[in-house]
Structure 1
Amino acid sequence: MEQTETDQLTEKWLHGLKKATDFDSWGQLVEAGDEYARLMRQIRSKLSILKLDDEKKMVLSKVASCLEIRANFLKSENELEEFRLEDIKRLSKVLESFRSSSPGVQLLPKEMSAPVDRLRKQQASETVQVKEFEANEETDLPLSSQGKLSSLLPKLNVEPGLTLVTVNIVKIGLKDAADHIDPVITVSCKDLNGVELCAKQTTPTPTSRDDTYLTYDVNVELQMPLEKMSKGTGVVFELYHYKPKRRATSLKCYAFMEIDELKSGPCVIELYNKPYDNKRKKLTLLTKKPLYLHLNLSLEKQH
């Protein structure tokens, strides 16, 4: 019998849970925490996409919350051990019930519900507090999750002697790369007041992805010759992804290059937390892990 999308995801999730609990049982707590968190994100990213009834969505959501609680415990000395390893292993039976061959979905064990309800209540309170901030992070990119958004422009036709810059966006490294829906990168030239000095362009969605990298391998032709860029101009790269619950795109992180950094050849640049800082002074790294935006620049003087 042909597997449905839910069947395929169920197998992937069961494999992820086994990997996480194996690390947990071996005492490799950092790796276990990372795997629990990765699986949590994978499940949550599919909740609004899968064609499931409300009961099944609620069960999946609670499974994700259980994984979050265990991950938080393993990553912090201040967290209480709400769930033991053996409790988390019981989630495999719940996930198995999502197979199409299963007679019905299995509910979360009752004794695991109280910690989940506390976490969900806490998160609901925090959501109210940050709702206004998140609204400010939404953009006017089309409210679509079809992955067809792209606005790349051809190379400029300029007078001889001017230098054109082609940026090949190779890939971007994220610890949760596989979880993002329709991630695209916008490229613009901005001054220190945040004014866009030429047309902003948007890449297509990635050509491939894995748990750590989104691969684009796409050329972006900057719409301003190098000689026309004034002091303080920066080439700004912003990663946006689609959030189904708000039917909006949201800024994930950004990177930039100053004029004197624009040289032909490959380079990797750091990723910073949102919101974008026009002055490019108050910078907070997105992650301490060695994950970057990988580029390959080509500067060509016109004859």
Structure 2
Amino acid sequence: MEADRDELISEWSKAFKKGTDYDLWGQPVEAVDSYRRLSEAINSQTCEEDTNFSDEQKRILGKIVTCLDLRIGHLKKPGNHQGISLDDLNKIGQTFDKLLTMKCKDFPIDVSAAQIWAHTMNSIAMVHNQTESYDAGSQEEEQHRIKAKGSLLPKPLPIGGKQVLTVFISKLGLKDASQYLDPYITVSVKNKQGIDLTAQQDTPISGRKEDQYVIFNVPVHIQKPIDILPPDYAVYFEFKHYKPGKKTLSTKCWSFMERDEIKDGEAVIELYKKPADFRRKSLNLLTVKPLYLHLKLSISM
């Protein structure tokens, strides 16, 4: 575990240097992309259940993420002076080397409540300006548009010698596939106690149906190397859709793959009736018909 943790910190430090170099060279698009990927990579390691880092170290990592996000906001809107300068950001470069021994109170930047509040208020003001002329129906359309994009994350930063899993979701078979409104799949990784091990991700809403299939054709990048996940992990897939009559989201069915099933190539897995049982004790097939979730798995370093 210590070796895995040291490799993570080393990769983060390299990624941070790459981002600040882009920033220094006046390449904001590349800098924003580097900072965003690093922020997401660190965030995935700071959940309550993660055991790679202590609570104190997670608080320090949380401050680093806040600084990265503030810098991203500044680069995206140069006229906005509420943010973090590159000089300030560079002060946290050594934090990665000292992460395992330093105290949160010694963090080199004062990530003040006022600064975070100003950043939040800027975001709220921007959303308000965009939506103040909308009626209630327009706001619902905007929320739907955001949901339609999904919440898929980019491929995580590489960690030397560790295997990264990408799951390409091809299609899901249902006898009444054409009847589902705004269908999408939530992908998560959990242990046998049902605790999340990585960030959950939603596919974009599918607008394509063929015969008895809902077509997705999207890659989902699992946010932690599978080598460092516990032996009892599984990847879960929940098929969800919108019910206009009840104005709510509903889970129709779910599926999962355990560790010993994770291998390169195509996979066709069974669908189970809701509710999803993340402890994998109560499994009831959705149908006896040959309708499945079709995937293609790719494992890379």
- Alignment TM-score, normalising by the size of structure 1: 0.51
**What is aligned with 2:116?**
none
Q: Distance in 2 between matches of 1:178 and 1:210?
A: 8
Specify every segment of 5 or more residues in structure 2 that has no aligned partner in the other structure, as ranges.
1-140
1:267-294: CA deviations, max 9, x gaps?
1000000011122121000011000000
What is the CA distance between 1:145 and its match in structure 2? 5.3
- 2:260 partner amino acid: D
- 2:245 partner amino acid: K
Tell me which structure has the larger Cα radius of gyration. Answer: 1
Number of aligned residues: 160
- 1:216 partner amino acid: F
Contact 2:182 2:207 in 1 (8 A): no
Q: Distance in 2 between matches of 1:149 and 1:250?
A: 18
> What secondary structure, in the 3-state scheme, does the structure 1 residue paired with 2:205 have?
coil
**What is aligned with 2:285?**
285
Contact 1:163 1:299 in 2 (8 A): yes
**What is aligned with 2:11?**
none
1:109-145: CA deviations, max 9, x gaps?
xxxxxxxxxxxxxxxxxxxxxxxxxxxxxxxxx9965
**What is aligned with 2:255?**
255
What is the CA distance between 1:266 and its match in structure 2? 0.5
Question: Structure 1 231/262 Cα, relative in aligned 2: closer, same or farther at 3 Å?
Answer: same
Question: Structure 1 160/153 Cα, relative in aligned 2: closer, same or farther at 3 Å?
Answer: same
1:45-74: CA deviations, max 9, x gaps?
xxxxxxxxxxxxxxxxxxxxxxxxxxxxxx
Contact 2:171 2:213 in 1 (8 A): yes
Contact 1:144 1:248 in 2 (8 A): no
- 1:201 partner amino acid: Q
Kindly report which structure 2 residues correspond to 1:145-184, keeping only aligned pairs within 5 A, or say none.
Answer: 148-184=148-184
**What is aligned with 1:191?**
191
Contact 2:155 2:222 in 1 (8 A): yes
Greater Cα offset, 144-153 or 175-184? 144-153
> What secondary structure, in the 3-state scheme, does the structure 1 residue paired with 2:178 have?
helix
What is the CA distance between 1:231 and its match in structure 2? 1.7
What is the CA distance between 1:195 and its match in structure 2? 1.0
**What is aligned with 2:228?**
228
- 1:165 partner amino acid: L
What is the CA distance between 1:210 and its match in structure 2? 2.6
> What secondary structure, in the 3-state scheme, does the structure 1 residue paired with 2:181 have?
coil
What is the CA distance between 1:186 and its match in structure 2? 0.6
RMSD over aligned Cα, in angstroms?
A: 1.8
1:31-90: CA deviations, max 9, x gaps?
xxxxxxxxxxxxxxxxxxxxxxxxxxxxxxxxxxxxxxxxxxxxxxxxxxxxxxxxxxxx
Q: Distance in 1 between matches of 2:295 and 2:252?
A: 18
Identity, in percent, stands at 46
Question: Structure 1 143/283 Cα, relative in aligned 2: closer, same or farther at 3 Å?
Answer: farther
Contact 1:206 1:216 in 2 (8 A): yes
Q: Distance in 1 between matches of 2:288 and 2:142?
A: 32
Q: Distance in 1 between matches of 2:274 and 2:182?
A: 18
Q: Distance in 1 between matches of 2:158 and 2:166?
A: 14
Q: Distance in 2 between matches of 1:162 and 1:293?
A: 27
> What secondary structure, in the 3-state scheme, does the structure 2 residue paired with 1:182 have?
strand
- 2:172 partner amino acid: I
> What secondary structure, in the 3-state scheme, does the structure 2 residue paired with 1:153 have?
coil
Contact 2:209 2:215 in 1 (8 A): yes
Contact 1:207 1:217 in 2 (8 A): no
1:164-201: CA deviations, max 9, x gaps?
00000000000010000000001010111211111000
> What secondary structure, in the 3-state scheme, does the structure 1 residue paired with 2:257 have?
strand
Q: Distance in 2 between matches of 1:163 and 1:296?
A: 16
- 1:291 partner amino acid: L
- 1:209 partner amino acid: K
Q: Distance in 1 between matches of 2:288 and 2:143?
A: 32
What is the CA distance between 1:206 and its match in structure 2? 1.9
